[in-house]
Amino acid sequence: MNFPLLALFTRSLREDARGAATYWARAALATFILLVLAGMAATKSWIGAPGKNFFIGIVSLQAISITLVGLSYFGSAITEEKEEQTLGLLRMTDLNPLSILLGKSTSRLGGALLLLAAQFPFTIFAVTLGGVSLGQITATYCTLGAYTFLLCNVALLGSVIARRTAGASTFTLLVMGTLLAAGPLLGAWNQRLLQHGVDLGLKPLADTLWKASPLARLIEILGTGFSGSLAGWQVASNLALGVVFFMAAWAAFGRFCDRVPVEGGSAVASKKMLGLSLRRPPRPQAYALIWKDFYFLGGGRLGLIVRIVGYGGSAIFAGIGALKGNGPAGFTAAGSLVTFVFSIDLAVLAARMFGTEIRDQTLSALAMLPLNIRQIAYRKALALLHVALPGAIAVLICGILTITSFSGALRSSSAPTPSLVAMLVSQTIANWVNIILLVHVVAWLSLIMKRGAVPVGYVTTQAFHTIIAVGGMALAAALGSFRGGNMAFLSYSQFVGVGASIIAIFILHRRGLRRLEALVGES
Amino acid sequence: MDPEIVIDIRDLTHRYKTHQALGGVSFTVQRQSIHGFVGPNGAGKTTTLKVLATLLKPQRGDVSVFGHDIVRDCKAVRRKIGFMPDHFSMYRQMTVFEYLDFFGAAYGIGLAQRDKIIGDVLALTDMAGRKDDLINGLSRGMQQRVSLARVLVHDPDLLLLDEPASGLDPRARIELMEILEELRRLGKTIFISSHILSELATLCDHVTILDRGQVKYTGTMRGLITSSDGDLATYQLTLAAEHPATSDSLAKLPGMQRVTPPLPNEARYTLTFDRTQLALNTILQTTIASGGQVVSFAEDVKHLNQAFMDLTEPGVRSDQ
């Protein structure tokens, strides 16, 4: 194909077709689906509608994966050229903005859609397990496809506007968050107004916005007795909005991409934020590596203040909510949210811990210090822990409040509490092990991937937990049912999950250190 | 172990999967010398430097720095060397002072001592006026100076510099070479790699030429560019006109090995003789006595590029 318009697109498709990673990703996904399917098949006598449960699990993971991976994968479409300062070279050729946008973004969209399509035949097996129909599966994939299209084009606009991938991802997160939350927020506001006797007629708009979200559509499709069309309002609106965002990216290209500012032109050391002059960090004493990563990777004092306010505020907010009568469920929801945010925060720090050293080619200078690679890694990890301390305390507080709240509620209802409390305690331990596993996976991926370690790490960790859980269930089914009932089974699952995670952490730890040593030699 | 030998490499071999980077490299580096390490791209220079910098373990061979084995006494070696890689190894969001302060602290240097050392290295690299600037805003030449300052922070005795002048403009190159000269005067040993021999000619007293993972030459820079070999010296004698009588007289001198006759229309004779038996004055006196009119008399010096081309093989190796 010799058309300049499709030159980049063709090149990207060729690269994808030749790259082993494309096929490994598809094979890994298919294997994952088949493993989970086999586990569900082995335990179908325990669970009602195993096919539906399997499919809901897979779809939930896919929706989160698309969102997380898409944030960096789609968001880096144009910013990667800006970061490597190659966008100017592309503009010097016959490639116009449209061909660059098509080549850099549409090929990524194609790759993601192909990844979805590759799973489709395997998920159809869910029909044989019962509880889900072919129509539901097809409609679900249409929903996910349209959502992917929208996400890709929102991220493309972000990538055109922002100078770095992190900025593009933040833009995408904000826009997608607004689009997805607009319906429910407008609905809730309308409800409040109606309670005060004010009717602005916002309900139809709120409903329309809500129905455009993939979440609403998935709830509808996966409900019992779904007989709607394969592509409803959500698909149509997501595709239309996607086109609008693509057009916006095209229109904005000249404004934001024709003159890429030279990296860090300023030589002024003092920074200003919100009119306040930020002081430079104090001088390093002992443990200079911890000092460096705390101030230059974790954001230093400002980062610490932001985290204390953010996490502290969340913990206080959850506490107030619970005191107002939201009860244990309120604590659990707030605790889960804080834990999720904390794990992502920690994962981002873990990805940057070595990722920035590799990107800036500073690993060899660090390795020349009179420290071995293990000492360097541990000191960097210690700096990360300093930064993450407010989040860790907030997660601990939320966990303790949840357990206390649950045990109090159960005591008052005279139900047998010890086993549930024990389960909550073990759940808290499992959560911490999962966070540590996520950090290790992301840190290891940052040593082998140029970008996207956080989303890929998150998805990989979730897939690992799913396989372990389903594998544990299959094993339990093979060994015969548990005499202790559901509670005993849950404890057993947690025990297996925590054990497998600890083994994985140990392996990743060793492999990570070895990889670091190899990178030092390669750098 | 000879205390004058700073680097001792014996039979160093390293292989990257299918590519043999080094195949039995052996040479030594003398104390307080500036030793050039030259070779075409892919010759194995960076691999050798990484081994010396303890970043890469040698697969075969013995390498010692100041008598310390680089594998067994890794930490002792690191304290004595400063390695400047061929890329900028910079924390760009730091100021110049913060950058040097960080490395000083990481080497365990106390606060008061650090201030003095940083002041000294900034003065040496002429960066004292830019110490509060962000590294991100510095030019390439200035970043190279900061990189060199970083290498000097812990006062190493040996500097390993991997192509430090690459990408610098002519002025920055000259200034860098002046700094290196100054460092030698301060007693440092400098091992500097480059793929351009002429760049190092005026700076280095010793040189090792590497090609395709093999040492092609190691010795003095003078030995490389002259055709002299031990006691045997080669000189060029140019006369105003061809003079066979002079040629005959010189050939009969004791210690004279060979008198190469001049090319047509070129009255230049190449004389090869044993310098222990035959003095330069005797040659000149004999020439004048036989009626030859001397235009010039000088040691036979090859052009550096020619010497380099003679030693290295053309083309790109097939396993790259």
Give one DSSP letter per residue of chain B, joined into a string. --TTEEEEEEEEEEEETTEEEEEEEEEEEETT-EEEEE--TTSSHHHHHHHHTTSS--SEEEEEETTEETTTTHHHHHHHEEEE-SS----TTSBHHHHHHHHHHHTT--HHHHHHHHHHHHHHTT-GGGTTSBGGGS-HHHHHHHHHHHHHTT--SEEEEESTTTT--HHHHHHHHHHHHHHHHTT-EEEEEES-HHHHHTT-SEEEEEETTEEEEEEEHHHHHB--BTTEEEEEEEESS--HHHHHHHHHSTTEEEEEPPPTT--EEEEEEETTT--HHHHHHHHHHTT--EEEEEE-B--HHHHHHHHSPSS--TT-
pLDDT of residue A44: 67
DSSP three-state, residue A85: coil
Q: How confident is the model at residue B25 (pLDDT cuts 50, 70, 90)?
A: very high
Helix or strand holding residue A276 (H, E)? strand A276-278
Mark yes or no for CB contact B85/A523 under 8 Å: yes
Tell me the chain A residues in contact with residue B75 when contact means C-beta distances shorter than 8 Å.
370
CA distance, residue B102 to nearest chain A CA (Å):
6
Q: Please tell me the pTM assigned to this model.
A: 0.78
Between CA B176 and CA B127 the distance in angstroms is 12
**pLDDT tens string B292-309:** 899 999 887 776 777 777
CA distance, residue A281 to nearest chain B CA (Å):
9
Residues of chain A with pLDDT under 70: 1-5, 44-48, 259-279, 318, 321-332, 406-421, 479-492, 523
Residue of B nearest to A263 (CA): B136
Substitution target from B15, B17, B51, B56 for chain A, most A beta carbons within 10 A: B56
Mean pLDDT of chain B: 87
Average pLDDT for B226-251:
83
Q: How confident is the model at residue B75 (pLDDT cuts 50, 70, 90)?
A: confident
Between CA A88 and CA B211 the distance in angstroms is 37
pLDDT of residue B263: 76
Between CA B243 and CA B269 the distance in angstroms is 10
Mark yes or no for CB contact B87/A284 under 8 Å: no
**pLDDT tens string B255-314:** 998 898 887 777 889 898 988 889 999 999 999 999 989 999 988 777 677 777 777 776
Cα three-residue angle A185-A188-A193, rounded to 5 degrees: 125
Question: Does pLDDT of B168 surpass 80?
Answer: no
Q: Which of A280, A360, A523 sits opposite B98 (nearest CB)?
A: A280
Mark yes or no for CB contact A264/B137 under 8 Å: yes
Tell me the chain B residues in contact with residue A263 when contact means C-beta distances shorter than 8 Å.
136
CA distance, residue A13 to nearest chain B CA (Å):
28
| Residues shown for chain B | 320
Q: Is A48 on the interface with B (CB under 8 A)?
A: no
Mark yes or no for CB contact A370/B90 under 8 Å: no
Tell me the chain B residues in contact with residue A267 when contact means C-beta distances shorter than 8 Å.
130, 133-134, 136-138
Mark yes or no for CB contact B134/A269 under 8 Å: yes
Sheet of B268-274: strands edge to edge?
A: B256-260, B268-274, B232-239, B294-299
Residues 6+ apart with CB under 8 A from A428: A399, A403
Question: Does pLDDT of B172 surpass 60?
Answer: yes
Q: Is A302 on the interface with B (CB under 8 A)?
A: no
pLDDT of residue A157: 95
**pLDDT tens string B34-74:** 999 988 888 899 999 999 999 888 999 999 999 999 988 98
Mark yes or no for CB contact B95/A269 under 8 Å: yes
**pLDDT tens string A215-249:** 888 888 888 777 778 888 889 999 999 999 999 99
CA distance, residue B164 to nearest chain A CA (Å):
15
- Specify whether the backbone of A345 is left (phi greater than 0), alpha (psi in -120 to 50) or beta: alpha
CA distance, residue A518 to nearest chain B CA (Å):
8
Encoding tokens for residue A277? Answer: 């002059």
The closest of B281, B238, B235 to B258, measured between CA atoms, is: B235
